[in-house]
């Protein structure tokens, strides 16, 4: 379950990095900074897939564990329609509020035009296929079709990597490289969405059959989708709010600092995306085992995923300490940006094991259908710890305080997560 998801997560990361890499080939920090400004909003769009994909996927796995396939089919159909509706509304909202949105994110005279080009293709044109692809991938995993789910996301990522240099440097004139990167991303997500439509149509899983919009699931099931989906989406939104705050604070230190932290925030996603892939592979198995009363199996899956994720996180800390300079120079040759990015990456990487432990517990509570606990941990993590820590440490230590804030905040988050999970386990998981 985890391996195809991890591979697809890595390829998604690579194609996100590919945009930054190819944009950096223009050696224009303003373009890199503009792409960095759009990243949080793009991730907000992806959070919409958590509403239907994580919320619906966890419920479908539990319904299958309870031997209720017909209700699982109705939940699947509801989630597809929900995803299409909310992503279309988000796309329209970005189109109507493009300029004030970009200015609020920190775009200035030198970055506004570039940010507008990138946002138009990635957020306005590409929102629906991007969100729908990720939702369908999560719903496929919920019924055990992890290979197809991973292949579709990976295919879109590889296509994006292939299209980037062609569109940016061959088809479009100089000065439009960032528009080319956005168009390539749009095309790749449309292709991925088309693949999922075909793969689901050919699947033998009876759950994956789209019913008319009038065939709604039971009210309790709708509530079950939102009870997990909303906390998942809110947690992602708050994560991206954290990125927006980082961009806004770092913008005060110049374009080179903003470009550097934008590269670092993408580079640090390598071990985090592996960890997310492990958690996404774990979640349907934990949800099914929990609903079926197979607690020993559930504990075994949880323990293996935890050990594997921590091993990846700790290994990445050592890797980034040694190779920070080389990683920065892969993306941009500007000496000022590289000089700032090296200490940024080394400091941010220290938080990787803590970040993994933080979202690991959120995925566990999503699998159990405990949306309130997941929402509590997400809200406290970002609004209680991370964002206040950014302002406090920036005021005390300047730009280095911004990059140290993640470690300080997530140390508190992990302590809270362990306490909340221990209380839940004593109450709900005491029986074998």
Question: How many whole angstroms separate alpha carbon 409 and alpha carbon 8?
Answer: 29
What average pLDDT does range 80-84 have in this prediction? 92
The three-class DSSP label of residue 216 is coil
15 band by pLDDT with thresholds 50, 70 and 90: low
Q: 368 pLDDT band (50/70/90 cuts)?
A: confident
Report d(CA 269, CA 15) in Å as an integer. Answer: 12
Distances (CA, A) of 221 to 45, 80, 123, 212, 226: 24, 14, 30, 17, 9
Angle in degrees, 0-180, between the axes of helices 55-65 and 69-96, rounded to the nearest 10: 180
**For the chain, domain boundaries:** 2-428
DSSP result, 126-191 = THHHHHHHHHHHHHHHHTT-HHHHHHHHHHHHHHHHHHHHHIIIIIS-TT-HHHHHHHHHHHHHHH
Residue 431 has a pLDDT of 54
Our measurement of the distance from residue 334's CA atom to the centroid of its chain's CA atoms, rounded to an integer in Å, reads: 28
Quote the mean pLDDT of the chain: 86
The Cα 297–Cα 350 span in angstroms is 32
Q: What is the pLDDT of residues 117-137, one digit of tens each?
A: 888 998 999 899 999 998 999
Identify the residue with better confidence: 364 or 44.
Answer: 364
Buried b (16+ CB within 10 A) or exposed e, 79-106: bbebbeebbeebbeebeeebeebbeebb
Q: What ranges in 219-370 are assigned the alpha helix state H? A: 219-251, 255-267, 269-291, 295-331, 335-349, 352-367
26-40, 145-159, 197-211, 364-378: range with lowest mean pLDDT? 26-40
Rounded CA gap, 64 and 101, in Å? 42
> Could you give the 3-state DSSP secondary structure of residue 399?
helix
Q: How confident is the model over 399-430, as pLDDT tens digits?
A: 899 999 999 999 999 999 999 999 988 887 76
Between 315 and 281, residue with greater pLDDT? 315
Best mean pLDDT range from 163-172, 297-306, 323-332: 297-306
Stated pTM of the model:
0.74
Most confident of 203-207, 262-266, 352-356: 352-356
pLDDT tens, 21-53?
787 777 677 787 777 778 778 877 887 888 888
The stretch 255-259 carries a mean pLDDT of: 80
- What is the mean pLDDT of the segment spanning 151-157? 86
Q: How far apart are CA 408 and CA 290, in angstroms?
A: 33
Interatomic CA distance for residues 135 and 76, integer angstroms: 10
The residue-averaged pLDDT of 228-245 equals 79
């Amino acid at each position: 379950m985890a391996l195809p998801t991890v591979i697809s997560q890595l390829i998604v990361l690579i194609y996100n990095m590919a945009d930054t890499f190819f944009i950096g080939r223009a050696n224009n920090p303003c373009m890199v900074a503009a792409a960095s400004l759009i990243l949080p909003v793009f991730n907000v769009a992806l959070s919409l897939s958590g509403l239907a994909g994580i919320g619906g996927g966890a419920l479908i796995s539990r319904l299958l564990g309870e031997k209720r396939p017909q209700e699982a089919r109705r939940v699947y159909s509801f989630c597809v329609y929900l995803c299409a509706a909310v992503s279309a509304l988000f796309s329209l909202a970005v189109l109507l509020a493009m300029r004030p949105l970009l200015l609020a994110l920190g775009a200035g005279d030198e970055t506004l035009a570039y940010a507008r080009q990138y946002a138009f293709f990635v957020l306005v044109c590409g929102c629906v296929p991007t969100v729908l692809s990720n939702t369908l991938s999560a719903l496929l995993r919920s019924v055990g079709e992890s290979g197809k789910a991973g292949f579709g996301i990976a295919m879109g990522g590889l296509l994006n990597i292939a299209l980037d240099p062609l569109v940016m440097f061959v088809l479009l004139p100089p000065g439009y490289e960032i528009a080319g990167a956005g168009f390539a991303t749009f095309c790749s997500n449309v292709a991925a969405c088309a693949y999922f439509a075909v793969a689901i149509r050919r699947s033998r899983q009876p759950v994956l059959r789209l019913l008319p919009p009038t065939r709604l699931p039971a009210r309790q099931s709708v509530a079950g989708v939102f009870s997990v989906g909303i906390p998942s989406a809110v947690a992602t939104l708050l994560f991206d709010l954290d990125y927006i705050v980082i961009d806004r604070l770092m913008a005060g230190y110049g374009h080179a600092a903003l470009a550097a932290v934008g590269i670092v925030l993408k580079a640090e996603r390598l071990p985090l995306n592996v960890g997310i892939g492990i958690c996404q592979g774990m979640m349907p198995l934990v949800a099914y085992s929990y609903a079926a009363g197979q607690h020993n199996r559930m504990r075994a899956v949880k323990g293996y995923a935890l050990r594997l994720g921590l091993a990846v996180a700790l290994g990445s800390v050592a890797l980034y300490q040694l190779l920070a300079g080389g990683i920065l120079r892969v993306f941009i040759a500007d000496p000022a940006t590289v000089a700032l990015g090296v200490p940024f990456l080394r400091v941010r990487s220290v938080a990787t094991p803590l970040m993994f432990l933080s979202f690991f517990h959120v995925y566990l509570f999503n699998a159990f259908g405990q949306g309130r606990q997941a929402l509590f941990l997400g809200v406290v993590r970002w609004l209680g710890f991370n964002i206040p820590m950014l302002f406090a440490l920036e005021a005390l230590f300047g730009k280095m305080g911004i990059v140290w804030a993640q470690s300080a905040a997530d140390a508190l988050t992990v302590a809270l997560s362990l306490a909340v999970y221990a209380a839940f386990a004593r109450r709900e998981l005491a029986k074998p």
